[in-house]
Amino acid sequence: MAFLSRRRRGARLAPELGDQDLGMLLKSLLATTRTGTFATTDLCAAQLSRLLGQEPGDWDRRTHRLGVLAGFLAGSHLARSWATREPRDANALVLHAWTEVAHARRQGGLQDAAGTVESCLRAAELAPEDPTPWVALLAVARVERWAQPRVFGVWNEVLARDRWNRDAYLGMLGYLSPEEAGSRIQVLEFVDTLRARMPANAPCAATELTAQVQQYHAVLERGGFEALVARNHWSQAMAAQALDRVALTWVRPGFLHHAAALADLNTLAYALLAADRRVEARAVFDALDGTVTAWPWQAGGDPVQEFEQARRRATAGM
């Protein structure tokens, strides 16, 4: 009966995804940084240190938290102040470097590339088992467009510490794309090699589908007739097979258990709707329960509005 049905939650951007501790910290940082006092820096640094000190060795969750915090703090002085006060704190150094990269992506370049690289390398020296200094350095390499041999050297340092690091694989996917320092052929080779070796539920499982969505976006951006028939992309063998491989398994409870699983489900929901596979998309939207990530929905406009419209299309007639 209708009154017994599950109530659908409204769509909302939630960069923390399912990480409640991270979500609470983001709210606390937003509240405390409004005061703008020196004491605020100490309080925020203590909160950051406490969160980043949790669950040592869980590199997947640590990478997720650092990436979200870097995006949240980009443009603020908090991460720099913390690293300046604690120059031998690996957490402070990595967050500072990653925040500088996030700010550079919005502004078009790093203000102090050498200093950002140095922060990554000092963090790597202080925490030799930790992959996140190398993940941050890989992000620097993308912004600075380093040559491929140098980038692959950084990439190998990540893999030596965290074989299936999600951010690293997606970072390399971006670096190898035609829009950055590679080609379509290199993207295909990279995805093929990964698919042959990767566990189906690895943290980087969405790399192949992400590549397909990026290619779809590239077609849309060309405009004209190509954009009008862009949906045909999802009828092509590689794109259709990429969806077939994950459409049913990813929505099984507990199948994806990495920190950014909800981000990958957003990618899947978007791709299924683009391919007009509405029945499969319904289960994905149910699993998301309104949690929205900016990418890939922002390609069509406001991500929350795009998500809601897609969800309505998927559930129309139910």
Domain ranges for the chain:
59-162, 170-312
Contact in structure between 55 and 96 (CB atoms under 8 Å): no
What is the four-CA torsion angle of 272, 262, 252, 216, rounded to 10 degrees?
20
**Residue where the block lists tokens 């077939």:** 244
Q: Which of 171, 167, 119 is nearest to 146 (CA)?
A: 171
Beta bridge partner(s), residue 292: 13
CATH architecture of the domain with range 59-162: Alpha Horseshoe (1.25)
List Cβ neighbours of 236 (8 Å cut-off, separation of 6 or more): none
- Alpha helices by DSSP H, listed for 145-277, are 148-161, 166-175, 184-197, 207-222, 224-228, 237-246, 261-274
What pTM value is reported for the model?
A: 0.93
Query: What is the predicted pLDDT for the residue at 32?
Result: 77
Please state, in angstroms and rounded to a whole number, the distance separating the CA atoms of residues 285 and 304.
Answer: 13
Contact in structure between 55 and 62 (CB atoms under 8 Å): yes
Query: What is the predicted pLDDT for the residue at 304?
Result: 97
Count Cβ atoms below 10 Å from residue 39 Cβ, excluding itself.
Answer: 9
130's tokens: 């930790």
137's tokens: 């350095």
Contact in structure between 80 and 73 (CB atoms under 8 Å): no
Low-confidence ranges of the chain (pLDDT < 70): 1-8, 33-39, 317-318
What are the pLDDT digits (tens) for 35-76? 555 457 888 999 999 999 998 899 999 999 999 999 999 988
